[in-house]
């Protein structure tokens, strides 16, 4: 018998203010929702101590791939690297070109 997945929206992790499981969200097929324990959304992973990241994010939640939406400046200022977790950059930064500020 498969064990039940604990359905908790907000996950407490040292260093993070906002780690959420996106399970249970409606899809474009009204009869279905996203699976729990598969996709998470969070704030700054760079603030998580390495031992906590290993124990909770990698070992318990089994997070293996991070889609990082920060721009290059944010990544340079706040780097992180956790064993067992791959980071792919998809920058959607909010930088405003100087010409728009004049």
Lookup: tokens for 73: 């400046």
Instruction: Report the CATH fold assignment for 10-100.
Output: 3.90.190
Compute the residue count for the chain. Answer: 102
CB-neighbour burial class of residue 63 (10 A; exposed 0-12, middle 13-18, buried 19+): buried
DSSP letter string over 64-92?
Answer: -EEEE---HHHHHHS----TT-EEEE---
Sorted by where each begins, the domain ranges of the chain are 10-100
What pLDDT sits at residue 94? Answer: 63
Question: Do residues 48 and 79 lie in contact, with contact meaning Cβ atoms separated by under 8 Å?
Answer: no
Residue 100 has pLDDT above 70, yes or no: no
Q: What is the pTM of this model?
A: 0.76
Question: Do residues 82 and 54 lie in contact, with contact meaning Cβ atoms separated by under 8 Å?
Answer: yes
What pLDDT sits at residue 1? Answer: 41
What pLDDT sits at residue 39? Answer: 94
Read off the pLDDT of residues 14-61 as tens digits, 9 standing for 90 and up: 999 999 999 999 999 888 999 999 999 999 999 999 999 999 999 999
Read off the pLDDT of residues 46-99 as tens digits, 9 standing for 90 and up: 999 999 999 999 999 999 999 999 988 899 999 999 999 999 998 886 665 565
């Amino acid at each position: 018998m498969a064990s039940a997945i604990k359905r908790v929206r907000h996950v407490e992790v040292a260093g993070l203010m906002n780690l959420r499981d996106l399970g249970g969200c409606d899809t474009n097929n009204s009869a279905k929702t996203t699976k729990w324990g598969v996709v998470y959304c969070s704030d700054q992973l760079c603030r998580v101590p390495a031992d906590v990241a290993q124990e909770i994010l990698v070992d318990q939640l089994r997070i293996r791939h991070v889609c990082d939406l920060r721009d290059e400046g944010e990544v340079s200022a706040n780097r992180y690297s956790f064993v067992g977790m791959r980071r792919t950059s998809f920058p959607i930064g909010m930088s405003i070109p100087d010409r728009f500020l004049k």
